[in-house]
Amino acid sequence: MTGLRILVDADACPVKDEIYRVAFRHEVAVTIVSNQRIRIPDHPLVSRVVVDDGFDAADDWIAEHGDGGAVVVTADILLADRCLKAGASVLAPTGKPFTTSSIGAAVASRAIMADLRAGGDVIGGPAPFAKADRSRFLSALDEVLVRLKRG
């Protein structure tokens, strides 16, 4: 396990600014992982990894580097599952933690929704990202970092 750090599935992440704010306060490194170049702050704690545009290339990089010292920020349920199995802490951009006890239901629900869509059913997507989600994420990330720092 390497040191405490935050790995961000960044292509569609709506809380990058919040991640930087919390990471700087806690002095925790942040790695932005994407398959296109994303602007990042010029700060010694922030780095960028641009992977090729292969299917799941960013997910594969994050899963390979996510361990007990990593906090992974992703909305991708299958990536969350992989990272939890590797020992990482995982948060959705809404602030909802993925846990070993909740991930099974999330994966099953995702599969059911995919089957319904494949069958032609018209179903709604996730709720729009709200100000409350941003606030909840800030609190959740802070809590996870404090817990991990305490060991």
Q: Average pLDDT of 100-110?
A: 65
Contact 69, 89 (CB under 8 A): no
Range of the domain at 37: 5-150
Each residue's pLDDT tens digit, 36-60: 999 999 999 999 999 998 888 999 9
Q: Which pair of tokens denotes residue 139?
A: 């609190």
- What total number of domains does the chain contain? 1
Alpha-carbon dihedral angle through residues 66, 68, 70, 76, given to the nearest 10 degrees: 50
Sign of the Cα pseudo-torsion (125, 73, 42, 61, in order):
negative
Q: How confident is the model at residue 11 (pLDDT cuts 50, 70, 90)?
A: confident
CATH of the domain at 139: 3.40.50
Calculate the CA 67 to chain-centre distance. 13
